[in-house]
């Protein structure tokens, strides 16, 4: 069913070299472009928001902590509801677009919120809501526009484009600040304009369904709530959602990883932001090649490899060896973990979820992972308190091993039959 509903925009003779590049569909490139532009916009704001709140508005740390209290639970629920709506009305593009539009409007909201902490909190919540709503339909569109054997590459290319945007955003923000002085408003307006451009690209270039797929006739039954709940009754779908949640339990979060690195290397605190930059760089460079690798050798081995890299990261963080080479290696491994898992996990999940319920399924996978991560980061905080940072990190490495065994037990048998790359 997959191959018949998906077009392959192969132009020219399908020679082995040419094919590698041609196999990312136009829709994936369009979605990647939208993500790239949107991330420029989002990271522009993220880069100057602390400056704006503290120096521009003179808010204090606890006021900022209040802003951070965003209801993850509510966002998670809305993500699944958004996924269901996208499936029921077969309007994935519309729901994704609504998510992008919400975040776009939020940029202007920052201008209007003034010094009111609740208003700024609400604006940030709207921004995150938009982000929560759009990711599942976007990923569903990628899976529906790509033959299953090329999903790894498609997600790899998409995630690489996405991180390029995240990379450029802060640079763009500082360029604006340099040009206009300390006018944060100008950064927000520029960010809004950039985000609006992304919505225009989405409207014009992203297609709801690939060429060749018939528009749904009136006789095609709509996805019902009951059918959505039934999704988890199917064994493969249930297993992938469980596995995603399980894998989420193995991660302690960027904040802790960078804090541990900073402490053990006694890094000047001013270099702190560069840790995230180093990780994104590795992620950006490796996302596409590892996606291609996932298509060749199977996605599960690549995800397993990613978690091995994560376990190694934790071991390095708790180990006796210090110095710059170790720091670089740790960041490279951590970036590899992201490159091996973020897109590849959805590429693994996509073919298992029925096309009718693809968005709901992906939303469940992402939500399961996010909620589990929330639990594990709290648990890690408690472990740190009880045993100190070093032993807590060793425990985290052990948790990764346990989680990996559990994931293999869940996923290995049914996923062996997932179509590999078409042989030449």
Positions in the binding site for another protein (CB under 8 A) = 43, 46, 49-51, 54-68, 114-115, 117-118, 124, 166, 174, 176-183, 185-186, 189-190, 193-194, 196-197, 200-201, 204-205, 207-208, 253-256, 258-259, 268-270, 272-273, 276, 381, 384-386, 388-389
Residue 181 CB, nearest approach to another protein (Å): 4
Residue 151 or 161 having the CB closest to another protein: 161
Minimum separation from the CB atom of position 227 to another protein (A): 27
Instruction: Give min distance, CB of 114 to another protein, in A.
Output: 6
Taking the least distance from each CB to another protein, the nearer of 16 and 65 is 65
Nearest alpha-carbon partner for 115 in 61, 166, 67, 59: 59
We find the least distance from the C-beta atom of residue 180 to another protein, in angstroms, to be: 4
DSSP structure class, residue 298: -
Q: Which is nearer to another protein, 275 or 418 (CB)?
A: 275
The residue among 348, 358, 351 whose CA lies nearest residue 411 is 348
Nearer to another protein, 352 or 383 (CB): 383
CA atoms 180, 186, 188, 193: torsion sign: negative
CB 344 within 8 A of CB 306: yes
Helices within 114-150 (DSSP H only): 117-144
CA angle 45, 49, 51 (to 5 degrees): 130
Of the two residues 115 and 416, which places its CB atom closer to another protein in the complex? 115
| 5 CB neighbour count, 10 Å cutoff | 14
Written as six digits, the tokens of 397 are 């490495």
The nearer residue to another protein, 196 or 364, going by C-beta atoms, is 196
CB 243 within 8 A of CB 411: yes
Nearest approach in angstroms of CB 96 to another protein is 15
Please check whether residue 403 is in contact with residue 130, taking contact to mean a CB–CB distance below 8 angstroms: no
Q: Nearest approach, Cβ of 66 to another protein (angstroms)? A: 4
Are the C-beta atoms of residues 376 and 249 closer than 8 Å to each other?
A: yes
Please provide the size of the chain in residues: 424
For residue 332, how far is the Cα from the chain centroid? 18
Q: What residues have CB less than 8 Å from 294, skipping those under 6 apart?
A: 152, 153, 156, 301, 302, 340, 344, 347
Q: Which of residues 117 and 315 has its CB atom nearest to another protein in the complex?
A: 117
Task: Kindly state the smallest distance separating residue 200's Cβ from another protein, in Å.
Answer: 5
CB of 184 to another protein, least distance (A): 9
The DSSP string of 324-356 is: HHHHHHHHHHHHHHHHHHHHHHHHHHGGGS-GG
Q: Which is nearer to another protein, 274 or 412 (CB)?
A: 274
Contact 187, 58 (CB under 8 A): no
How far apart are CB 413 and another protein at their closest, in Å? Answer: 33
Residue 297: other Cβ atoms inside 10 A: 14
Q: Provide, rounded to whole angstroms, the least separation between the CB of residue 186 and another protein.
A: 4
111 or 412, CB closer to another protein? Answer: 111
Indicate the residue among 154 and 383 with the shorter CB distance to another protein. Answer: 383
d(CA 224, CA 85): 10
């Amino acid at each position: 069913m997959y191959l018949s509903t998906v077009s392959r925009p192969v132009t020219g003779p399908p020679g082995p070299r040419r094919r590698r590049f041609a196999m990312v569909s136009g829709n994936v490139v369009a979605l990647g472009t939208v993500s790239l532009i949107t991330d420029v916009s989002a990271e522009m704001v993220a880069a100057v928001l602390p400056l704006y709140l503290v120096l521009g508005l003179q808010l204090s740390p606890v006021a900022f902590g209040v802003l951070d209290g965003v209801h993850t639970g509510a966002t998670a629920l809305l993500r699944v509801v958004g996924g269901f709506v996208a499936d029921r009305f077969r309007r994935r593009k519309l729901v994704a677009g609504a998510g992008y539009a919400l975040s776009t409007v939020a940029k202007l909201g920052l201008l209007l919120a003034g010094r009111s902490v609740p208003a700024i909190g609400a604006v940030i919540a709207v921004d995150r809501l938009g982000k929560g709503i759009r990711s599942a339909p976007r990923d569903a569109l990628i899976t529906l526009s790509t033959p299953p054997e090329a999903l790894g590459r498609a997600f790899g290319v998409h995630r690489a484009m996405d991180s390029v945007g995240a990379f450029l955003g802060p640079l763009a923000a500082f360029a604006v600040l340099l040009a206009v002085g300390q006018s944060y408003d100008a950064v927000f307006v520029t960010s809004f304009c950039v985000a609006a451009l992304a919505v225009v690209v989405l409207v014009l270039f992203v297609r709801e369904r690939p060429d060749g797929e018939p528009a749904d006739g009136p006789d095609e039954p709509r996805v019902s709530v009951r059918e959505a709940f039934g999704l988890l009754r199917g064994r493969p779908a249930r297993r992938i959602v469980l596995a995603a949640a399980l894998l989420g339990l193995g991660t302690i979060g960027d904040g802790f990883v960078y804090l541990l690195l900073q402490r053990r290397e006694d890094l000047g605190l001013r270099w702190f932001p560069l840790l995230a930059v180093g990780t994104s760089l590795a992620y950006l460079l490796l996302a596409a090649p590892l996606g291609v690798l996932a298509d060749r050798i199977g996605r599960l081995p690549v995800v397993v490899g990613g978690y091995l890299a994560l376990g190694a990261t934790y071991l390095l963080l708790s180990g006796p060896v210090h110095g710059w080479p170790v720091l670089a290696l740790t960041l490279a491994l951590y970036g590899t973990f992201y490159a091996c898992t973020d897109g590849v996990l959805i590429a693994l999940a996509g073919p298992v979820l029925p096309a009718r319920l693809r968005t709901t399924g992906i939303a469940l996978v992402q939500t399961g992972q996010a909620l589990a991560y929330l639990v594990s980061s709290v648990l890690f905080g408690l472990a740190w308190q009880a045993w100190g940072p070093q032993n807590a990190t060793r425990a985290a490495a052990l948790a990764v091993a346990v989680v990996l065994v559990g994931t293999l037990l869940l996923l290995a048998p049914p996923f062996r039959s997932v179509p590999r790359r078409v042989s030449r």
